[in-house]
Amino acid sequence: MNKTIFVLSIFLIVLIYKIMLGDTNYNNYKKLKNEVKVIIKENKKYSEEINVLKSEIINFKKNSRFVIEEKARNELGLTKEKETFYQILK
């Protein structure tokens, strides 16, 4: 009876050591779980950006001439020939 208790207590000590201080301890598990949550949030953000870019690509393919002209005017400040650009400062 004493030997079985001794062997079981050794197994229990080894198990507690593995849980608390081993390579796969509980603290590492919690850290990895938090990292997974952060990565999932980033993944959602990037997938939304990808969807916006995909919709822009579809828009370019359908209305390429008008979309390119609009982007050139709004983002680059370009103008057509014989056209004057006025910028109003507040």
Cβ neighbourhood burial of 60 (10 Å; 0-12, 13-18, 19+): middle
User: Residue 43 has what pLDDT?
Assistant: 97
User: Residue 67 has what pLDDT?
Assistant: 80
Are residues 78 and 72 in contact, defined by beta-carbon separation less than 8 angstroms? yes
Residue 41 pLDDT grade (very low, low, confident, very high; cuts 50, 70, 90): very high
- CB within 8 A of 72, min separation 6: which ones? 78
Whether this prediction's pTM lies above 0.85 is answered by no
Are residues 18 and 24 in contact, defined by beta-carbon separation less than 8 angstroms? yes
User: Token pair for residue 83?
Assistant: 């056209």
72-79: average pLDDT: 78
